[in-house]
Structure 1
Amino acid sequence: MHAMEWSVTTAPSRLAGPVPLQQHPRYAAACTALGRSVLWLRLGPQDAPLAHALILSRHWPGLGRAALVSRGPVWSPELTPAARSGALHALVRGLRRTHAAVIATPDRVHGVDPLDQCGLLDLVTPMTVAQLELSGDAAAQRARLHGKWRNRLVRAEAADVCVDITQMPPDPDHWLLREEAAQARTRRYRRLPPAFAAAWAAQGPGAAALLVAHQRRVPVAGMLFLRHGNAASYHVGWTGRRGRTLCAHNLLMWRAMDYLAETGTTRLDLDLIDTQTAPSLARFKLGTGAVAVTLGTTRISAPGTALVARIAARLPPPAPEPAARAGGGPVTR
């Protein structure tokens, strides 16, 4: 096999540095537990891989098999941006041989979308995620909090609120998942099913961290974090009326940052930020000191899309979305 070819492989036993949740073996295991088809591909030789990619494969009625490459591949640091772009193009072409459609959302490489000028059809404009580096001691981390966010934290710390940190049980009917599901229905946002969190938690001690804020033994807020290697991802959060008054989510996030850093996490991914539909949530996430990271455009390769892409390339680009302002508002997701 040529050194720069993709081949089917098993889940990598070791990944260098923090990797996105969607490219970690625990994500593959959780999806498999829910009946999804997954595929691991490796670039280069087995003893010295240059990249790994986790592919989700599903059947689309009327179209056939579709492959989803979300925030991948995970590259070896030695691979140049040009080589990464070429390898990703080759990955999409290779997947089209066995799938009717391929949808890819890559991370940018040094600020450049590796699928730019590739002839694929733009499907979704670039999304933005919040990433928080958990570096330095608690004092340094606290100094990076934005002023209003820190003020709300101080208010929560002065209140009669207790925080428990435990391992999330593998129970899809857990009270936090039920509360968050009801919240999602009320606020009409999409979410992964509770069974996904349960499947993640079932992968062993330390896989999922549950933080609950209590006042007089009554839960007023909760947060769930999924751990993947030396990174972690905020998964779900819920707060009641009393929790919002007490700024309980500021306290939970702060305790999570401290706990995760102490137990080996170097980066906390706070998921998407959307200043149009959830400005308060975006301000809350950025108020932690997280930075806004723009992903690559979501693109699709399917029958007929190349022609549409050539036509779309002649149209003017859409206006950029306004940047989110940092702050300390309560979580509204």
Structure 2
Amino acid sequence: MDAPLPECQIVWNDTGLSDWEEVFARAPRANLLQSPGYARAICPPLGQRPRHGRILIDGSLAGVFQIQEAQILRRAIHAVILDRGPVWLDGYGTPDQVGAFFRAFDRTFPRRIGRKRRLLPEAPNTPEMRAALDATRLKRRPGSTGYQTVWVDLRPDLETLRATLKSRWRGALRKAEAAELTTEWSWKGKSLLQVLTGYEQDKAERGYPGPTVGTVTDLCRTLLGHRKVLVGTASQGDRLVAAALFLCHGSGSTYQVGWTTAAGRTLSASHLLLWQAMGELKDAGHLDLDLGGVNDADAKGVKSFKEGLGGETVELVGQYE
């Protein structure tokens, strides 16, 4: 006899966020797109508003999620976005529970004329998870491919983390450590303008996808006063040769921006910054590092670089509506 499906209840935090943020702060791998700071930065320019919900599975608190909404004519025209959610507490997030959540979500925001739903579940792309989602009323977006990222667990000590690095990556790190590079780290925004200017130039020259410098600036402006923006630079003499920017959220952190010059690539300066950042983030109490999107189609070098840190490559199930 099959086990009964779990029951899911959504409880909205429409009057305050303190309880919600406490749950988010203790959830493993809580990602940037589900953080309140992200919504505060992203929603106003897009005419959206964030809403925050808690998830009860069989009556017990199991996780939280954040959506972005836009509406006109009293919701006659309505858009709802769930990016990389929900965020589950430890021990939750099984396929049955994910399916139960999205059935409850569908009852709350049923498909209808005038409503657009864009959902990117934070759920691994496994046969069991796909089957659980296929059993709901969600529809997979045509042509959707699974989003990939690399997570690094920052809880081990630095000696263990260094031993986890792949051999070629560790060799590049030793090269950078032997070079005459000066690195500097700041939680107060020092060199931030220079880093963002370099990012804008690098992105334009190399043509890779990623958030606009305006979006990253809005995120930094929102998070900077809360010790959630970490800026790192590497210089050779008086020349800046590489930079990295990390955004923090709950117990997690995200590698948001990184760039290097030709001289920096020769010296493996980005390897040095990523390695030092892991120590800085550990010291600040962050437990996980999300290295950001990777793919096999047009950025194999970036994927190889990020996987060299010895983290776990995770592929999500893709977009639904």
Residue deviations 1:5-42, cap 9 Å, x none? 32431431312233111112222222245454212123
**Which residue does 1:91 correspond to in 2?**
105
- Measured in 1, the distance between the counterparts of 2:212 and 2:110 equals 29
Identity %: 26
Question: Which whole-Å CA distance do the structure 2 matches of 1:152 and 1:7 have between them?
Answer: 49
Closer, same or farther in 2 for the Cα pair 1:79/1:165, shift >3 Å? Answer: closer
State yes or no: 1:212 paired with 2:223.
Answer: no
CA distance in structure 2 between the aligned counterparts of 1:243 and 1:80, rounded to whole angstroms: 41
Distance 1:170 1:245, change over 3 A: closer
Aligned partners of 2:148, 2:139: CA distance in 1, in Å?
20
| Equivalent residue letter for 1:231 | G
Q: Structure 2, unaligned stretches of length 5 or more?
A: 1-6
1:105 is paired with a residue of what secondary structure?
strand
Q: Are residue 8 (structure 1) and residue 12 (structure 2) matched?
A: yes
> Structure 1, unaligned stretches of length 5 or more?
301-333
- Provide TM-score, normalisation by structure 1: 0.79
CA contact (8 A) 1:31 1:37 kept: no
Q: How many residues align?
A: 294
Instruction: Trace 1:68-87 onto structure 2 (pairs within 5 A).
Output: 68-77=81-90, 79=92, 81=94, 82-87=96-101
Tell me the residue number matched to 2:136.
Answer: 118
Q: Is residue 227–residue 233 contact of structure 1 (8 Å, CA) maintained in 2?
A: yes
Bigger helix share: 2
Name the TM-score, length of structure 2 as normaliser: 0.82
Summarize deviations over 1:53-85 as a string: whole Å, max 9, x none.
11122469xx94321111111234465732331
Letter in 1 for 2:135: Q
Distance in 2, Cα, partners of 1:92 & 1:185: 40
Deviation at 1:297, TM superposition (A): 2.0
Checking the alignment, whether the CA contact within 8 Å between 1:34 and 1:196 is kept in structure 2 is no
1:40/1:167 CA distance change after superposition, 3 Å: same
Aligned partners of 1:96 and 1:102 also within 8 Å: no
Cα distance between partner residues in 2 of 1:125 and 1:217: 44
- 1:42 alignment partner in structure 2: 54
Q: Whole-Å Cα distance in 1 between the matches of residues 292 and 215 of structure 2?
A: 16
- Cα drift, residue 257 of structure 1: 0.9
Distance across 2 between alignment mates of 1:250 and 1:78: 34
CA distance in 2, matches of 1:79, 1:146: 31
Q: How many Å separate the matches in 2 of 1:78 and 1:254?
A: 30
Amino acid of the structure 2 residue aligned with 1:200: L
Question: Contact 2:151–2:313 (CA<8 Å) still a contact in 1?
Answer: yes
**Distance (Å, rounded) in 1 between the aligned partners of 2:201 and 2:170:** 29
Letter in 1 for 2:139: L
**C-alpha distance in structure 2 between counterparts of 1:74 and 1:194, whole Å:** 27
Q: Distance in 1 between matches of 2:86 and 2:249?
A: 16
Q: Secondary structure at the match of 1:298?
A: coil
* 1:56 partner SS: strand
Equivalent runs, 1:269-308 vs 2, <5 Å = 269-300=290-321
| Counterpart position of 2:118 | 103
Match of 1:17 in 2: 27
Over aligned residue pairs, what C-alpha RMSD do you find? 2.8
